[in-house]
Amino acid sequence: MKNKRLLIIFLVIILTIILLVSLSPSYFGHIIKQNIKKHDYLAIFIFTFLSDFIDQPLGPELIAVISLWFRLNFIYIGIVSLLGTWSVSLVNYYLGKKILSDNIESLHRSKKYQKAYYFLSKHEDFGLLLSAILPIVPYTICTWLAGAFKMKIKHFLLYGMLPRVLRTFFVMLVFYLSFR
């Protein structure tokens, strides 16, 4: 009963944040720019963490790209972005393992969750790898599900978090080389 209540509270918070960000992405983009300009790497870490904590349109790569506009160090931006993404990926994995594993069937109501559920349950490690680098299914949801399916942490690190390094640096590099 306690896990079910936590799951409901968790999903309500997530859906509220998704709705707010989806309705006004330019407003949140402005807030992100202001804070990165003022607080540099701390803001990058916080916004990267928040952007990967929930499934919403502003991904962690966008935070890194915005940071490049302020002429911050490319390598430091990448490292801080990855620390934020990795930290929240582990938090999401843990939440999935502790909260969602007992209530995994209740996620089948939403089409987005159904798609991620079937994708990850069918493809397992390879499915997590694809969600980490391609926008096939939401990576955040897949991190929750990886925990809920009790994927081995070694596999989670290898197939989920390592590909995020490649994706983040690839997007940053493309932007950096395009707009030098």
Rounded Cα distance between 54 and 11, Å, is 10
Residue 91 has pLDDT above 80, yes or no: yes
Higher pLDDT, 87 or 104: 87
Q: Tell me how crowded residue 13 is: count the other CB atoms within 10 A of its CB.
A: 12
- Report which of 164, 135, 153 is spatially closest to residue 48, judged by C-alpha positions: 164
DSSP state, 174?
A: H
What percentage of residues in the chain have a pLDDT greater than 90?
A: 16
In this structure, what DSSP letter does residue 157 have? I
* Residue in 9, 11, 8 with CA at minimum distance from that of residue 19: 11
Q: Quick check: 68 and 175 in contact, CB under 8 A?
A: yes
How many residues make up the chain in this entry?
180
**In which residue are the tokens 């007992």 written?**
102
More confidently predicted of 25 and 65: 65
3-class DSSP state of 40:
coil
pLDDT of residue 1: 55
- The C-alpha atoms of residue 120 and residue 95 are separated, in whole angstroms, by 17
Please tell me the pTM assigned to this model: 0.76
Return the pLDDT at 88. Answer: 92
Please write the tens of the pLDDT for every residue from 63-81. Answer: 888 888 888 899 999 999 9
Question: Residue 48 and residue 83: Cα distance in Å, rounded?
Answer: 9
- Between 169 and 12, the higher pLDDT residue: 169
Least confident piece of the model among 25-34, 108-117, 146-155, 164-173: 108-117
The residue whose two tokens read 């080389």 is 177
Taking only the tens place, the pLDDT of each residue in 98-155 is 887 666 656 556 666 667 777 777 777 888 888 888 877 778 888 888 888 888 999 9
Measure the CA–CA gap between 175 and 177, rounded to whole angstroms: 6
